[in-house]
Chain A
Amino acid sequence: MADTTHAGGQAVAPDSPIFKGAVARGLEWVIVPAVLLVIIGSFHLHIMLTIGDWDFWLDWKDRQWWVTVSPVLTITYCAALHYILWEHFRLPFGATFAITTLLLGEWIVRFLGWHMWSHYPVNLVTPATFFASALALDAILLLTGSWVITGLFGGIIFGVLFFPNNWAWLAAYHVPIEMNGQVMTLADYIGFTNVRAGTPEYIRIIERGTLRTFGQHSTIVSAFFSGFLSIFVYYMWWFIGKIFSNVSYIKSGY
């Protein structure tokens, strides 16, 4: 049976309430929702301020920019939560937890705010999903127990899985239509027809950039490039997670 009366070589009083399962569990059920709310707020804000437009609009989800920047900016919180939950608790669900909070916040805002309040159709403001990437990242951490390997292989997979994960629902909007003599996708038309006074067409950062040498396969190149960048971002934010979980400034009463 595991020795739970010693921690770091120092004895802990056996009758300390911290040992009692119900108290500990009760506290955990206070901590989890509180952390959930904090992460919903801060991660959602982080995403909106960085890749917000690509994540928001159907007619911004292109093969280059969206595919590249979305995983890179999303693996940030996943990595930070990986550090906090793995290093201290050996819990491998940090990435999925982060993505769940993000999508919860996004769907609340998109559906209640943009659809119910501002009358935009849900298909224009559907957020991207990152679950496949996050689940794979968590699983690799659990299986390898190594942040280095997780960053390396998990980072690549995080980037590469993003586009195919979303294509399942996005493909329907890339069927071609002809409108007023112009050929475009249904996504372009849905973006055009739903008037956004503050989002003129030229502001879309889509399909800009060359990648000419790759013919029409810019999606695959963007996905792997995104995976490559995600490796470094994972490592960087692993250490940011370390800095933000530092409690040495709190004086302990024990």
Chain B
Amino acid sequence: MKTLLRMSVGLGIALATLAGTMSIAFAHGEKAQEPFLRMRTIQWFDVQWSKETLAVNETMSMSGKFKVSPRSSWPQATATPKLAFINVSIPGPVFHRLGSWSNGTSMMNSTSFELGKVYDFKVDLMGRYPGKWHMHAMLNIKDAGPVIGPGKFITVTGSHADFLHEVKTLTNETVNVDTYGFANNIFWHAVWALFGAAWLVFWLVRPLFFSRYRMVEAGRGNELNSRFDKLVGFCVLVGAIVLTVVGYVQAEARWPVTLPLQSALASVEPLDMKTNQVKIKLKRAEYRVPGREMAMIIEATNNSNQPVRLGEFATATVRFINPEVGSQGTEGYPDYLLAENGLTASDNSPIQPGETRIFQVNAQDAAFETERLSSLIFDPDSAFGGLLYFYGADGERMLSDIGGTLVPVFVNSDGKDLGQIN
């Protein structure tokens, strides 16, 4: 017995110590999503956060663009965004969302996005709770779930006690969104709870079970409830109906103009943005497990009117930059998603207008492991997706879709090129 007691105390101390050493998880849960979902559905780009620090009641914007992967890349296991909602991934209402838009259209309702098209988005937010919060762009897709974009830590300073979010109704009343109606809610719930409690107390103060059970078993259950009990019951019935009517009538008098909940669908046109001016055919792609490197042989045909060079490969919000060419919009992008020297090409010379070139592109960075993209090789559909960013001589950026089968290489290939390049 003493041994058992000592063991129990020891186990309790060990568990308490372990619990004390655990750190709070408050970011990066998006890595738990399957790689194929993150790589082949929504390609986020130009995502920006207008502020990294703001006070309670201050506003900020998160904006950017996303390209919906084309049918050829969209995974069969995932529902297409016929019904989707532009959302924000934050830990609860630590910010209030003031509005969201896509291509200038208000996105307070859900909408439909077309495969292969580009849309921009903007979400306005107001600081509500002080703290350091990880904020992601996110698209919820019906029957597919959330597709999470890049995330950044945003710090809110100040005190929640100072938070004030007011709106003016069409009935000319200014209301505090956080506290409006609270007193009335509590009042009516309390009134009914007291009524219910009184009814319960009326029965609970007298003998309940044993004596009543014996009477019922003796066939004398009818004697248990007196005329007075039934009179009280009648008053309860009438009282419940009358109080309901009173509550309803006073509500109608106080708020005579009301609407039903709105369940509309928004409609948004895609951005008029040219893509795939450099047409890409994937010849072969391998993922080299020991080296955390993706190697692709691509055939690129330049259908634009100027020479282009490859500046970036982006997939699952991770950006592999070709340092010899560079890429736009890297300032302010989350460091953990940026591989600034992560991309190399076997031929970095400009691809001339009309030229078709086959060359090898290598994307290498620890991000494949840290962002859990390497587990793509264990997905039921071993294919990847992403965007290639080409840059013209005048700095014009051209986006091209890339995707296809990804063959895992489990043995160190000594850095040899893939197959034959013709």
Contact = CB atoms under 8 A, between A and B. Distances in A.
B153 to A, nearest CB: 16
A62 B260 contact: yes
Question: Interface centre among A167, A195, A206, by most B CB within 10 Å?
Answer: A195
A238 interface: no
Interface in A160-184: 161, 164-165, 167-184
A169 B185 contact: yes
A31 interface: yes
Contact of B233 (A92, A175, A194): A92
Contacts of B259: 174-176, 183-185
Interface string A133-147: 011101110110100
Contacts of A184: 108, 259, 262
A138 B199 contact: yes
Contacts of B98: 193
Nearest to B129: A119
Interface stretch (A21-29, A39-47, A74-82, A229-237): A21-29
A168 B181 contact: no
Given A142-B230, A174-B259, A175-B173, A131 B193 contact: yes
Interface in A92-131: 92-93, 96-97, 99-100, 103, 107, 118-123, 126, 129, 131
Contacts of A140: 237
Contacts of B215: 2, 4, 90
A244 interface: no
A131 B195 contact: yes
Contact of A89 (B146, B160, B165, B212): B212
A169 B191 CA distance: 12
B203 interface: yes
Interface string B173-198: 10101111110110111001101110
A139 B213 contact: no
B274 interface: no
A96 B200 contact: yes
A70 B205 CA distance: 31
Contact of B263 (A6, A145, A206): A206
Contact of B197 (A100, A180, A183, A202): A100
Contact of A21 (B207, B222, B229, B255): B207
A131 B237 contact: no
Contacts, number: 303
A197 B87 CA distance: 7
Interface residues of A, number: 95
Interface stretch (B31-39, B245-253, B369-377): B245-253
Contact of A6 (B175, B181, B218, B248): B218
B255 A3 contact: no
Interface residues of B, number: 99
A193 B165 contact: yes
A123 B93 CA distance: 13
A126 B181 CA distance: 10
Contacts of A28: 207-210
A123 B189 CA distance: 12
B96 interface: yes
Nearest to B109: A201
B240 interface: yes
B89 interface: yes
A253 interface: no
A182 B92 CA distance: 24
Contact of A142 (B83, B216, B225): B225
B218 A134 contact: no
Contacts of B165: 193
Given A169-B188, A200-B84, 11 more contacts: A32-B204, A62-B263, A91-B203, A92-B233, A93-B203, A103-B189, A121-B93, A136-B240, A168-B250, A193-B177, A200-B87
Top 4 nearest A-B pairs by Cβ distance? A168-B247, A200-B140, A139-B237, A202-B110
30 contacts: A4-B214, A8-B217, A31-B208, A59-B261, A87-B216, A88-B212, A89-B213, A90-B224, A121-B178, A121-B182, A123-B182, A129-B188, A135-B196, A138-B233, A139-B233, A167-B251, A170-B251, A171-B251, A173-B180, A174-B260, A175-B259, A184-B259, A186-B180, A189-B177, A193-B165, A194-B97, A202-B83, A203-B140, A206-B261, A207-B261
Interface of A: 2-4, 6-8, 12, 18, 21, 24-25, 27-28, 31-32, 59-63, 87-93, 96-97, 99-100, 103, 107, 118-123, 126, 129, 131-132, 134-136, 138-140, 142-143, 145, 157, 161, 164-165, 167-190, 192-198, 200-204, 206-208
Interface of B: 83-85, 87-90, 92-99, 101, 106, 108-110, 128-129, 138, 140, 142, 146, 160, 165, 167-171, 173, 175, 177-182, 184-185, 187-189, 192-193, 195-197, 199-200, 203-204, 207-218, 220-225, 229-230, 233-234, 236-237, 239-241, 243-245, 247-248, 250-252, 254-255, 257-263
